[in-house]
Structure 1
Amino acid sequence: MGTPEFAAPSLKTLIAAGEDVAAVVTQPDKPKGRGKHLSPPPVKELALKYNIPVLQPEKIRDEAFINIIQKLRPDIIVVIAYGKILPKAILDIPPKGCINVHASLLPKYRGAAPINWAIINGEKETGITTMLMDEGMDTGDILLTERVEIQDNDTTDSVYEKLKDIGANLLIKTISGLKKGMVRPIDQDDSYATYAPMLKKEDGRIDWAIKPEEIRNLIRGMYPWPGAYTRWEGKQLKIFKAQVASEERTSEEPGVIIKTSTDGIYVATGAGILLITELQPENKSKMSASEFIKGYKIGKGQIFD
């Protein structure tokens, strides 16, 4: 059970390992692009390539759908970024349980956007956890984990690319270990639990009163979606890349442009200066900050809010 590109390598690895994939369950096709043509999820495309039956229920709790899963009699159900919470009626079907591949080191970052929030919060590492699912949100017993360093220039996009393949390999290790009796479930320590709720567009708005490193982390964690942004002259300005120029407090108010140069736009924050190097004006293409400076009347003393 899975939907986005993140789940595709795991399905491919299961097939390559010779596992009998009885069916793939994924979200319904959704309209995409300007023409709003229905587009299949990446997991569906891969399943059809290997002639694996695909199920796309509108409602996961639908009795007819649950009956289909029961008739398949799966030993294990694998769940990776499916997009809906499974009811107990499904969790109870496979005798060996439902295994989830989650993109964090549980119990940290339970929820829908673990990669984003790990970067936003300035974490230096994240990883993959496989777990036995229960009715809670990412609260099941841990099976295996693998750690991954978050590098200084990583974004959600780059960490996502690393973790999708690591998740696929850890899933195979988990299933093999369970078959051999070498993997034993471990309770999560709820006292260490943190949460990673689904992102909203407004989460990307930059608060210039915080530290420059915190703003930079927000920019990295919000890339590619929903994007970190500020407002300038009444219009939205998306910020894609930035550097900490100084951690010394400036006399300027947060959000005030200190100077512009070929390097980019230097902006005062609550505890230092941020250098913006790549951005996107409203209804325009992405560009370097130096290109933006050449094409727009922006300079010292103007304000981002």
Structure 2
Amino acid sequence: MNILLFASAYNGMCQRVHRELEAENHRVSIELSASEEVMQEAVAQFQPDLIICPFLKHRVPEAIWREHLCLIVHPGIEGDRGPSSLDWAIDMERNQWGVTLLQADEEMDAGDIWATQNFPLRGAPKASLYRREVIATAVAEIKNILLDAIQKPDFRPRPLDYSNPNVKGKCLPLMRQDWRKIDWLNDNTETIVKKIHAADSFPGVLDDIAGNTVYLFGARAEYRKTNAKPGELIGYRDGAVCRATRDGAVWIRQMKMAQHGEKTFFKLPALQVVTQQFHNPEYFEHLGVLDSQVQQDINTEIKNGVAYLSFDFYNGAMNTEQCIALLAKLRELRAHADVRVIALLGGEDFWSNGIHLNCIESSVDPAHESWRNINAIDDVVQEIINMDNKITVAALRNNAGAGGAMMPLACDSVWAREGVVLNPHYQTMGLYGSEYWTYLLPKRVGQHLAHELTTQCMPILAKAAKAIGMVDQVLPEDWELYHQTLQKACEELTKDELFFSTLEQKQQRRVADECVQPLETYRAAELRQMKAIFDNPDSDYHKLRYNFVHKISCGKTPSRLINHTTKEKVLQIA
């Protein structure tokens, strides 16, 4: 089928739907513009058999949905309507939520229902629920509907019927800041965390800290006794700040200053906002580091000879200090006598997305901070490559991009959860890239494919990555089953015969590779390219980074996403 995707951004949902459909041999084209004229032109050029809207914030023009079947992915249960679906589900403490595939119609979210499927609602931030449960459920529904449409020509959708007692959803308005507002004197810790979860990662909860107006993101409950007044800052850790509540405390991982006049701000680690952007940072000079079992961005669990190393950095971005801390933890594990296998888990929502563009943008000298950050992440990759006394496993539970998609290749094995999407390229940010990619990627996929992956800038699914050698094993998508399978496979690697033979082969390969070309020459060549880009104030990187951080759209769909017959053929790896 010819399937056209309308979307407001080429986000994780759109990327996965795109590549999953292509894996099913459908021809897919994408239009990101909100212009009715451009959307109609895309329809006229592509002549789609079906239009799917995986992530659309605006209406489909009537001229299109009256003439073409348009299916909208709505992140809500049957009958749910409105732009704040997940926000309200979290606020109302629903234990079940869902995804509904409905037909575009005159009234928003009120069209005929083609599919609906529910899932258990975790106590997690909105963005985490969207990335894990919503995307997986939406993809399953779309694939099932296409199967039904092909195999069951008599299939008909059903109209939305609020008189049906099984329809539990309803139309709810946009959730505004007056509803999200935290009452620090009366709200308990659980309520505060819930409010911030419902606003993560957009729009955040608008709040005031000692006269500074900020948006709050990334909450974690800390049930510790404190004598501080509710709302008062009591300490910090891993870039997060801790605020007292009436019955405990809450960690805030990220903040964004509210717009002040013409000046706009962007999300940063909360401690950085407090110390660098608050008008009265001296007010908080008494704060110190707090011990916490809750707020630990880097955490290790050692079990049966396996160290499970998680590095749960917000949105997968790794700033210089986080890279230095991760390197220290790797070196600590290298010296740990009881550890034979190190499984690098990444975070709860991303494995890694490489260097931290927001922190770089906020620095006094972005070129210098870019250089510090890329060298720090290169040090991490170097440590993994040279880990000659342990077996390393990149356990890709979630998506990875840019340097974060190259870093797993430094490990001895790469095991990805089914449905994971990788973006192994840098050029969309105007960068050549480092992380030893010129050594690691061709070693796995060959020079030709490495060139295509890094220049065509397309996402790749875990299964397709396995087919070309970028991933070694694809494990089940179910979160619990993935971890059970991972643990069993990792523990198998610790057994004497397999461990020592694998280690010997690894050491021999590294020696052989070093004889062909010293490892550090790859890094030196990559960094020469990167430094030239960093040091050039007119390079595309500085402009693209600024636009990315400030969420400024280029205003048109990238040509690589438009699939017309006259367009140059791109690498077909779904």
Change (3 A) 1:220 1:274: farther
Find 1:74's aligned residue among 45, 48, 51: 48
Does structure 1 residue 186 correspond to structure 2 residue 193?
no
Deviation at 1:88, TM superposition (A): 2.1
Partner of 1:2: 7
Among residues 120, 128, 132, which one is paired with 1:149 in the alignment? 120
Tell me which of 266, 270, 273 is aligned to 1:286: 270
Q: Is the 8 A contact 1:122 1:214 kept in 2?
A: no
1:18 to 25, 32, 42: 25
Contact 1:111 1:198 in 2 (8 A): yes
More deviation in 79-88 or 199-208?
A: 199-208
Runs (5+) with no aligned partner, structure 2: 1-5, 258-267, 276-280, 288-574
Post-superposition shift, 1:161?
A: 0.9
The residue identity in structure 2 corresponding to 1:119 is: I
Task: Indicate yes or no: 2:86 matched with 1:115.
Answer: yes
Q: TM (normalized to structure 1)?
A: 0.67
- Whole-angstrom CA distance in 2 between matches of 1:259 and 1:199: 27
1:223 aligns with 2:200: yes
Query: What are the within-5 Å matches in structure 2 for residues 33-44 of structure 1?
Result: none
Q: Which residue of 2 aligns with 1:170?
A: 141
Amino acid at match of 2:150: K
Deviations 1:109-165 (A, max 9, x none): x1223223322332222221112221111111212222222212x111211111223
Taking the aligned partners of 2:269 and 2:120, their CA distance within structure 1 comes to 32
- SS at the partner of 2:55? coil
| C-alpha displacement of 1:218 | 0.8
Amino acid aligned to 2:96? E
Name the larger-Rg structure: 2
- Distance in 2 between residues matched to 1:232 and 1:117, nearest whole Å: 26
Secondary structure at 1:14 match in 2:
helix
Q: 1:137 to 1:295 in 2, by over 3 A?
A: same
- Structure 1 residue 168: Cα displacement: 1.8
Pair 1:90–1:210, CA change in 2 (3 A): same
Q: Which amino acid aligns with 1:103?
A: P
- Of 99, 102, 109, 1:131 maps to 102
Cα 1:115–1:84 change in 2 (3 A) is: same
Equivalent of residue 244 in structure 2, options 266, 269, 287: 266
1:160 to 117, 126, 130: 130
* Residues in 2 aligned to 1:93 and 1:239: alpha-carbon distance in whole angstroms: 42
Task: Select which of 57, 66, 69 maps to 1:83.
Answer: 57
Change in 2 beyond 3 A, CA 1:215/1:71? same
1:39 match: none
Q: 1:26 to 1:196 in 2, by over 3 A?
A: farther
In 2, are the aligned partners of 1:278 and 1:286 still within 8 Å (CA)? yes
Is the deviation greater in 209-218 or in 190-199? 190-199
Partner residue, 2:190: 213
Residue 211 to residue 139, structure 1, CA distance change in 2 (3 Å)? farther
Return the structure number with greater strand share. Answer: 1
Change (3 A) 1:197 1:235: same
**Secondary structure of 1:105's match?**
coil
Secondary structure, in 3 states, of the residue corresponding to 1:139?
coil
- CA drift of 1:199 comes to 5.6
Q: What is the CA–CA distance in structure 1 between the aligned matches of 2:255 and 2:285, rounded to whole Å?
A: 10
Q: Distance in 2 between matches of 1:160 and 1:129?
A: 13
* TM-score, reference length from structure 2: 0.38
Deviations along 1:11-48, one digit per CA (max 9) or x if unpaired, are 11111111133x32212xxxxxxxxxxxxxxxxxxxxx
SS at structure 1 position matched to 2:244: strand
Alpha-carbon separation, structure 2, partners of 1:256 and 1:287:
18
**Partner residue of 1:54?**
none
d(CA) in 2 for partners of 1:101 and 1:9?
Answer: 13
Distance 1:226 1:202, change over 3 A: farther
Matching residue's letter, 2:49? D
Residue 74 of structure 1 aligns to a residue whose secondary structure is coil
Higher helix share: 2
Distance 1:274 1:104, change over 3 A: farther
For residue 196 of structure 2, give the secondary structure of its aligned residue in structure 1: helix
- Distance across 2 between alignment mates of 1:178 and 1:105: 22
Identical-residue share of aligned pairs (%)? 18
CA distance in 1, matches of 2:236, 2:55: 42
Q: Bigger relative contact order, structure 1 or 2, given CA contacts below 8 A and separation 6+?
A: 1
- Opposite residue 160 of structure 1, the aligned amino acid is Y
Matched residue of 2:137: which SS?
helix
Question: Partners of 1:225 and 1:18 in 2: how far apart?
Answer: 35
Between the aligned partners of 1:119 and 1:286, the Cα distance in structure 2 is 23
Structure-2 change in CA distance of 1:9 and 1:198 (3 Å): farther
Provide the C-alpha distance between the structure 2 equivalents of 1:232 and 1:105, rounded to a whole number of angstroms: 37
Secondary structure (helix, strand or coil) at the match of 1:80 reads: strand
Is the alpha carbon distance of 1:70 and 1:276 closer, same or farther for their aligned partners in structure 2, counting shifts above 3 Å?
A: same
2:77–2:169 contact (8 Å) kept in structure 1: no
2:325 is matched with none
Give the Cα separation in 2 of the matches to 1:11 and 1:226.
26
Distance 1:282 1:151 in 2: 26
